[in-house]
A and B are shown apart, each in its own frame.
Chain A
Amino acid sequence: MSDISGIIFSEYTIHLAILVGLYAILAQSLNLTFGLGQLFNLAHVASYAIGAYTTALLSTEAQWQFVPCVAASILLSGAFSVFLGTIALRLTNDYFAIGTLAFGAVVSSLLINWRSVTHGVLGIPGIPRPEILGLDMYQNSNFLALLLVFVVAVQALYFAISRGPFGRSLRALAEYDQAAAALGINTRLVRNVAFLLSSAAAGLAGSFFAYYLNYIDPTSFAFGEMIFLMTIVVVGRPGSFFGVLLSTAFLVLLPEPLRFLNLDSATLGPMRQLLYSLILFAVVWWKRRSIFPEQREV
């Protein structure tokens, strides 16, 4: 009996570790734009969805292998951000937020209504886990190991960015765009590159998400997911590398005890949303002066 509970427990732990890993990529990449760059990017989940659907469609309908699927997810999500960036980055502050929100809504609506490609609300089933170096990825511990390679690579990249010249120029234009431009910094280029790197990583997370669940549908990419990601960044302190890493683990694991309350899933879902919304609201209220210091202008 204790053997079985031990196995269940470890499967459960591995599942949680995979979730934390996925969200560590999603939240840290959002932290680049929303945190370091103070760009109110509400299209991050759209990038995530594009990555997930790319891998889902290519691996089922075209039987592409792991590497080309992941690469295609990263590239398409990156391309989406370039397209979105050339339009939305012409807008500033609140207007930028509204612009990215609109694009996010367009992507959401495409997932549901462009049935010939996305299969609408039915979603895409039967996404096969890859086989790599002869390892069976249906074994979650193997899948976790594979994911961790990417999680570490992405975190290393963002850590380097946060300490290096690129992160510095991004922080500069977040604080005083025109003073950064007066030093010769191409502020539009820096923003676009940040947006690209952030969106490409969300695409990577989407690809792994599709492989992990074997099935995706539009509900995973609803606006509640965007609120959750923002909550992670805000609680971790926007722009803080380690803060966001810690708050990812904390907030992903936080609602887990709710599982043991024996609630049905129709109650559990909204309860988690409510919990995250309350946390987001509380932190924003409590730290309303310091989360986003006012941007200066000439």
Chain B
Amino acid sequence: MLSISGLEVSFQGSPVLNGLSLSVVAGETVGIIGPNGSGKTTLFNCISGFVTQRGGTIALRGEEIQDLQPNARALRGLGRVFQNFGVFRNMTVLENLLLALESRSDQMLSILPWSSGRAQQKEQALALLREVRLEEKASLKASSLSGGQMRLLEIIRTVAAGAEVFLLDEPTAGVSPRMKDDVTGIIRRLQELGKTVMIIEHDITFIERFCTRIVVVNEGRIVLDGTPEQVRSDEQLKEIYFGRA
């Protein structure tokens, strides 16, 4: 589904990704862990098109996308959920979803607020909000949501945009312990829908709940790749996090 090969990124001459390669098959859920500053978010930014690589290729369903604009990648099914919350806080919860549906149906330049398809789109948006139990908040500003609700909104909005591959960057950061189960719920739902999911997470016990594969990133490379058990029991993991003993 997604195939990354030899990806190299540097900022002001200092390398952040050093020939990183990774392949993810359709319907797979992959957890990505690694120390702070190891390049996990940069990897997602590069896949999404917000950061330009110095070298390497990114293929989505066999098509090379590394030179496309971010919006063109999104239209090919690449979804992104941002570490610093990508919800539009100045808009209502409903508008956040309408935006995704309108973009998907190529209406972002349509000027008139009234049209035949509009009512149907609103229904569709409300149905999606119901899935994450946010339909009662539909007309509230998104800034009034809790951290957990914002994550749910952003994920369901990415579903509305038609994503097949989901890049979730620390989806439980800023989420109360009680709401973590809701986030788990929506990720399970993505799995049921057959989506391909990549999750950056610090909490290994959290991603173990739905990942059969975990990769460990360190200094811009993948240093471990295996089942949660294999990764957990590997001596290298301790070295990466706690330094050489």
User: When the two chains form their complex, are residues B103 and A185 in contact, meaning their CB atoms are under 8 A apart?
Assistant: yes
Question: Is there a chain A Cβ closer than 8 Å to B112's Cβ?
Answer: yes
Please give the number of chain A residues whose Cβ is less than 8 angstroms from any Cβ of chain B in the complex: 29
Asked if A176 is at the interface of the complex by the 8 Å CB criterion, the answer is: yes
Number of B residues near A (Cβ < 8 Å) is 39
Contact in complex: A175, B89 (CB < 8 Å):
yes
Of the stretches A129-137, A186-194, A211-219, the one at the interface is A186-194
* B177 at the binding interface (Cβ < 8 Å): no
Tell whether, in the assembled complex, residue A172 and residue B91 are in contact, meaning their CB atoms are under 8 Å apart. yes
Q: Is B104 an interface residue (CB 8 A)?
A: yes
CA distance A196 to B82 in the complex (A): 31
Cα–Cα, bound, A157→B90 (Å): 22
Residue of A whose beta carbon sits closest to that of B98: A168
A165 close to B (CB within 8 Å)? yes
Question: Would A168 and B91 count as touching, CB distance under 8 A?
Answer: yes
CB distance from B34 to the nearest CB of A (A): 18
Chain A residues, Cβ within 8 Å of B41: 298
CB distance from A103 to the nearest CB of B (A): 24
How far apart are A104's CB and chain B's nearest CB, in angstroms?
Answer: 27
* B139 located at the interface, meaning its Cβ lies under 8 Å from any Cβ of chain A in the complex: no
Say whether B74 contacts A163, CB under 8 Å.
no
> Given that A164-B113, A175-B89 are known contacts, is A185 also in contact with B71, CB under 8 Å in the complex?
yes
In this assembly, does A44 line the interface, its C-beta being within 8 Å of a C-beta of chain B? no
Residues of B at the A interface (CB closer than 8 Å) are 41, 45, 48-50, 69-71, 74-75, 79-80, 82-84, 86-91, 95, 98-100, 102-104, 107-113, 157-158, 161-162
17 A-B pairs with CB atoms under 8 Å apart are: A164-B111, A165-B107, A165-B108, A166-B109, A166-B111, A168-B98, A168-B99, A168-B102, A168-B108, A169-B99, A182-B86, A182-B161, A184-B161, A184-B162, A185-B103, A190-B109, A293-B90
